[in-house]
Structure 1
Amino acid sequence: MTDKHDDGIHVERADDGGTLSHLQDAALTDKALANGALEATVQEHSMGFLQALKTYRRAAFWSMLISASVIMEGYDVTLLGSFYGYPSFREKYGEFLNAESGFQISADWQTKFNCLGAFANIVGAVGNGWATARWGHRRVLMTSLVALTGFVFISFFAPNLQVLLLGQFLCGIPWGVFATTGPAYAAEVTPLAIRGYLTAYVNLCWCIGQFISAGVLKGLVSNTTEWSYRIPFAIQWIWPVPLFVAALLAPESPWYLVRTNQLEAAKRSLERLSEPDHELDYDATIAMMVHTNKLEIEERAGVTYWDAFRGTNRRRTEIACMAFLSQITSGGALCYSGSFFFLQTGISADAAYGISLGGTGIAFVGTIISWFYIHRFGRRRIWLVGFACLVMILWTIGFLALPVQTLKLAWAQSLLCIVWLGAYSMSVGPIVYTLVAEIGSTRLRTQTVVLARSTYYIGNIVCGGTIQPRLLSPGAWNAKGKTAFFWAALATLTFVWGYFRLFETKDRTFGELDVMFQKGVPARKSASYVVDNEEVYVAHEKEDK
C-alpha cells in the first residue's frame, strides 16, 4: 500500500490491519488516542535513569553506534586546521615567507579551506534534512559513508593545494550529514530519562575524534617525509565500513516511521530498541507519538525548512541556531585551533602539538564529567554557568597579551586555552547537542538540527574561516594573544542573549514542549513552569465541548 505524506512524499508501507490502524485516522480529540498518549507520558516521567537504561539499553547501544559517525567529523575537521602549523605539511603545500617564519600556509588559503569546507558542511547538512524526511536516517547515513570513502582518495593523493581543496570540499558534504544525524537519531530513539546523556554523548564523539587526530599528529610531527601527513588522511578509511554495518543493522527511528504513517513498523522498531521482558505498552507509546505528530500538524508544521520559521517553530529555530552558534562565539575557533595559536605565541612545534593532545584529552574527560550532573541541573543553567566561565577565561588571555610577550606569558596563554577546553567540554560543548536535539518539534527535529548546525558552519566561515586566520597569521594581522579580545567581546554578547532567550528542555516530553511554546512561556520561567498532563492531551477535547 502507498501512503501520501502531508508534504507530498509517497511512502511504501504494509497494511497495518492491527490494533494501531485506527490511530492513523483518529482525530486529535479521540479519547483512545489521548488516553494512550497520557499513559505513555506518565510512564516516561515515572521511569528513572537506571530503569530506563535497563529497559532501553538496546536504544542506547544503537544511538551510540550511529552517533559514532561524529567521531569522523571531529577527526577530519580538526585535522586540516592542525596541519597549518605542521612542518612537513607546510613544506609540501606552503609558501616560503621569510627566514623567521619559514614555509607558511597563507591566510588566503586558510580562508579558502575553512570557508569552502564549512560551505560543504552546510550542503551536506541541508541535504540531510531533505533526504531524511524521505528515506530515514539509516539510508542517508549509509549513502554518505560510501561517498566519503571515495572522496578521501582525492585528499590522500592531492599533489597541490588546489586538489586538496577539492578533496576537502567533497569530504565536507558527508561530514555535514554525520554532524546532524547523530543528535537527531539519539533524541528520537531514547526515552526521556537517558535522552540527555545520549545526545551529550555526541559531543564526546567529537572529542574522541579530536583526541585521535591530535594523537596521530603528535606521533608523526617529527617525521619529515610525506607520510607524516598522508597517514592521517589514510586513517579516515578505517571508519566507514564498521559504521556502514552498524547503520545497516540499526532500527529506524520510530518517530520517522510514525511521521510516514508506518505505525506497525514503528512498533517493531520500539520492540528492537527495548528489552522484551520489561512488558512495555508499545501501543501507548505509539499513541503518544501519533498524538504529538497530530498536534504539530494542527499548528501547520510540515517537514520543510520553511515550516521551521512558522508559528512557534520560529522561536525554537532561533534557540537552536543561537545555541550551536555559541560554540563558535564562545572562542572555539581560537582555543580549538590551539596548535597553530601556540606556535604563534613562540612555543616549539613539538610542545605545541603536545599541549594540543593534552587539551583534547581534557575535553574528553570534561564531557564525561558533565554526565555526573546533567541529570541534576537544567540545560539552561549548565550553559549559563559554563559560558560565564569561558567569557572570563577569554578576557584573561587577552589581557595577558598586553605586556611585552615573553615565553612565560606564552605558556600562560596556552595553558589558559586548555583550561577553556576543560570548562567548555564540561558545559557548553555537550549541553548544546542535548538542547538542540530536544528543542525542535518532532516533525521538524532533523530540519531544526540542520538549520542550527548550518548556522554553526556559517559562523565558522565568518569567524573561524575569515577573521581568525587573519588575526593569527604572521602574514596578515599577526595579533597573537590579543586575538582573545575579539572572542571575549563576542562571547559576552552571546551570554546576554542566552540569559534572556535560552529555553529549558530538561524533563520535558516533546508534547509538553509543544504546549509550552504555544503558550509563549518566557525562557527565564521555562525551568519552573508546571505543565498539567491533561493540559497536553485533553485540552483540545475541552475546547470542542
Structure 2
Amino acid sequence: MLLGYDVGVMSGAIIFIQEDLKITEVQEEVLMGILSIISLFGSLAGGKTSDAIGRKWTIAFAAIVFQAGAAIMALAPSFSFLILGRLLSGVGVGFGVMIAPVYIAEISPPASRGSLTSFPEISINFGILLGYISNYVFSGLPVHISWRVMLGVGIIPSVLLGFTLLRIPESPRWLVMQNRLEEARIVLLKTNEMGMDVEQRLMDIQKAAAIGSANKYESKGVWHDILSPTPTVKRMLIAGCGIQCFQQITGIDATVYYSPTIFKEAGIQSNSKLLAATVAVGFTKTMFILVAIFLIDRVGRKPLLYLSTVGMTACLFCLSMTLGVLDHGEFGIVLAMLAVCGNVAFFSVGIGPVCWVLSSEIFPLRLRAQASALGAVGSRVSSGLITMSFLSVSHTITVAGTFFVFSLISLVSVVFVHKCIPETKGKSLEQIEMVFQKGGGEQKVGMVEMGDMERLVQEQDLTLTHT
C-alpha cells in the first residue's frame, strides 16, 4: 500500500510541486523515476538481510525506511530535499517488493498460495487508488500546502503495519533454515487447514533446506549459483526475472505516473478534471485485481498471463491510434479513457499479480531470497528507466508513438509467456522445482502433473489399506 500510494499520489502532486518549487521537466522525470532506480539497492540487500534477521523483520525495516523518506518529502523546502526523501523511500521500496511476496509464498498452503501471494499487488493497487483520491481531495488547498498534505498522508499506513507485525508469525521455511524446527511446526499447524499435512510439509522443507547445507546459506555460495547457474536454475531465472521486466517495460508505471499527461494529450485541460479521470483509472485497476485473486488458483497462472498480455497489447495499440489519429474532441477523450482503463484492467487481471506469484514460488529455498531480489531489481530498474525517459521520449516520437512502442513490447511478452512460463497452479514449492528440472515445457509439465497425481493416488491407497 505504501508503494502504491506513492506511485498514485506523485502523479497528481507533481502538478503542484512544479508550480510551487518551479522545477524543470528534467527534474520532474528524475523525481518520478529515481525511486525505482534506487530501489535496486534495497532489493539486492533484501535477500541477505531477510536470511539474516528473518522475513518478518525485514518487512518492518522496509516500512521504517520508506516512511522516513515520505516524512522528508512532505516537509521538503527544496528540490534537493525532495530527492533525499525519494532516495530513502526507494531503498524501502526495494526491500518491500522483494520480501513481501517471498514471505507470503513461504507461509501459504499450496492450494491458496496463488491468491495469497497476489495480496501485495492488491495492496499496491489499493494504494494507487488512495493516492489518486488524495490528489483530488486536497487539490483545492493552497499550492504550497496541497502537495505536502498529499505526500504526508502516506505515513499513516505505517502505524497499521506496526500493529500487524506484532501478530504475524515468522516464515516456517526461514525457521527451518535456522534449525528452529519446533517453532516452524507451530507456524505450520496454525497456517494449515489439515494438521495431518504438517509433518509431511515440514519434512519437505527440511529436505529442500538440506540441499544447500554444504554452502551453509552463505551469500557468496548462493550468488555463485545464480551467476553461474545450472540449466534448471537458468530456466528459473529466465522465467522469474523475465516476467518481472516485462511487467514494467510494457509501460504500466508510465501510464500510472503520467496519466494526467496522457489525458491532457487526449484533450482534458482543467486540473480537477485530470485528477478526476485518474481516480477512474485507479478504481478500475483496483477492481480488476480482485478478479485475478478469484481466478488465479482456479484457472491457473498461464491462462491469466495470456489474457493479460494479449489484452494489454490491444489496449496500448488502441490508445496509440486514439492519441495519434483522432482530434481532441469528446469522442477521442472517451476512447482514450477506455483504452487506459482497459490497459490497467488487463494488467491487474494477469501480469500484475501473477508476476509476483511466479517470482516468489519458482526458485528453490536456498536461492529464493536472492533470486527474488534479482527479479525485483529488474522490475524496479525497468520501471525507473521507463518513468525517467517517458517525457523525453514522448517529445521525440510523441505520446502516441511512445504507446505504440509499448504495444509492440507487450506483443513480445505474449511470446515470452508461451515459451518460458510453465503452469505452477496447485504444486508445492518443492514440486515446482521438479517442473524446471524436467525442462519447463508444456509436455513436461503435464508429465510431472501426472506423476504427482499417481503419487497421491498411491498414498491414498496406502492410507485406506492401513485404515
TM-score, normalising length from structure 1?
A: 0.77
Q: Which residue does the alignment assign to 1:229?
A: 147
Alignment of 1:125-144 (within 5 A): 125-144=43-62
Aligned-pair CA distance for 1:387: 0.4
Aligned-pair CA distance for 1:191: 0.2
CA distance in 1, matches of 2:352, 2:400: 23
Q: Deviations over 1:269-311 (max 9, x none)?
A: 2234357xx6435333211111222346589986533323421
Q: Which residue does the alignment assign to 2:279?
A: 357
CA distance in 2, matches of 1:195, 1:404: 45
Q: Deviations over 1:386-442 (max 9, x none)?
A: 101111111122122333532232432232101111121112212212122211112
Is the counterpart of residue 450 in structure 1 residue 373 in structure 2? yes
Is the counterpart of residue 519 in structure 1 residue 441 in structure 2? no
Q: Which residue does the alignment assign to 2:399?
A: 480
CA distance in 1, matches of 2:427, 2:189: 23
CA distance in 2, matches of 1:167, 1:358: 29
Unpaired runs of 5+ in structure 1? Answer: 1-70, 96-104, 538-545
CA distance in 1, matches of 2:353, 2:169: 25
**Contact 2:284–2:344 (8 Å) recurs in 1:** yes
Q: Identify which of 341, 357, 363 aligns with 1:440.
A: 363
Q: Which residue does the alignment assign to 1:167?
A: 85
Is the counterpart of residue 384 in structure 1 residue 310 in structure 2? no
**Contact 2:362–2:433 (8 Å) recurs in 1:** no
Judged with a 3 Å threshold, the aligned counterparts in structure 2 of structure 1 residues 300 and 318 are, in CA distance, closer, same or farther, namely farther
Aligned-pair CA distance for 1:453: 1.2
Q: Which residue does the alignment assign to 2:420?
A: 501
Unpaired runs of 5+ in structure 2? Answer: 457-467
CA distance in 2, matches of 1:415, 1:224: 32
Judged with a 3 Å threshold, the aligned counterparts in structure 2 of structure 1 residues 114 and 264 are, in CA distance, closer, same or farther, namely same
Alignment of 1:82-93 (within 5 A): 82-84=12-14, 86=15, 88-93=16-21
Judged with a 3 Å threshold, the aligned counterparts in structure 2 of structure 1 residues 404 and 191 are, in CA distance, closer, same or farther, namely closer
CA distance in 2, matches of 1:372, 1:453: 25
CA distance in 2, matches of 1:524, 1:496: 17
Q: Deviations over 1:89-114 (max 9, x none)?
A: 2211235xxxxxxxxx41x2133224
Aligned-pair CA distance for 1:136: 0.5
Alignment of 1:27-106 (within 5 A): 71-84=1-14, 86=15, 88-95=16-23, 105-106=24-25
Letter matched to residue 131 of structure 1: T
CA distance in 1, matches of 2:132, 2:451: 49
CA distance in 2, matches of 1:132, 1:536: 34
Q: Which residue does the alignment assign to 2:175?
A: 257
Judged with a 3 Å threshold, the aligned counterparts in structure 2 of structure 1 residues 144 and 397 are, in CA distance, closer, same or farther, namely closer
Alignment of 1:58-457 (within 5 A): 71-84=1-14, 86=15, 88-95=16-23, 105-106=24-25, 108-274=26-192, 279-295=195-211, 304-309=222-227, 310-311=229-230, 312-337=232-257, 338-348=259-269, 349-403=271-325, 405-407=327-329, 408-457=331-380
Aligned-pair CA distance for 1:359: 1.2
Percent identity for Structure 1 against Structure 2: 19
Aligned-pair CA distance for 1:347: 0.6
**Contact 2:249–2:383 (8 Å) recurs in 1:** no
Aligned-pair CA distance for 1:254: 0.4
**Contact 1:511–1:536 (8 Å) recurs in 2:** no
Q: Deviations over 1:142-169 (max 9, x none)?
A: 2333333433332111112121011111
SS of the residue corresponding to residue 280 of structure 1 reads helix
Q: Deviations over 1:158-202 (max 9, x none)?
A: 112121011111111112212122211110111011111101122
**Contact 2:5–2:124 (8 Å) recurs in 1:** yes
CA distance in 1, matches of 2:197, 2:425: 24
Q: Deviations over 1:35-69 (max 9, x none)?
A: xxxxxxxxxxxxxxxxxxxxxxxxxxxxxxxxxxx
Which protein has the larger Cα radius of gyration, Structure 1 or Structure 2?
A: 1
Aligned-pair CA distance for 1:321: 0.9
Judged with a 3 Å threshold, the aligned counterparts in structure 2 of structure 1 residues 157 and 279 are, in CA distance, closer, same or farther, namely closer
Q: Which residue does the alignment assign to 2:464?
A: none
**Contact 1:501–1:523 (8 Å) recurs in 2:** no
RMSD: 2.5
**Contact 2:360–2:372 (8 Å) recurs in 1:** yes
Judged with a 3 Å threshold, the aligned counterparts in structure 2 of structure 1 residues 299 and 536 are, in CA distance, closer, same or farther, namely farther
**Contact 1:334–1:341 (8 Å) recurs in 2:** no
Judged with a 3 Å threshold, the aligned counterparts in structure 2 of structure 1 residues 402 and 151 are, in CA distance, closer, same or farther, namely closer
**Contact 1:512–1:536 (8 Å) recurs in 2:** no
Bigger share in helix: 2
TM-score, normalising length from structure 2?
A: 0.89
SS of the residue corresponding to residue 396 of structure 2 reads coil
CA distance in 1, matches of 2:391, 2:206: 49
SS of the residue corresponding to residue 325 of structure 2 reads coil
Judged with a 3 Å threshold, the aligned counterparts in structure 2 of structure 1 residues 335 and 112 are, in CA distance, closer, same or farther, namely closer
Letter matched to residue 203 of structure 1: E
Q: Deviations over 1:7-56 (max 9, x none)?
A: xxxxxxxxxxxxxxxxxxxxxxxxxxxxxxxxxxxxxxxxxxxxxxxxxx
CA distance in 1, matches of 2:384, 2:223: 21
Q: Which residue does the alignment assign to 2:459?
A: none
Judged with a 3 Å threshold, the aligned counterparts in structure 2 of structure 1 residues 405 and 93 are, in CA distance, closer, same or farther, namely farther
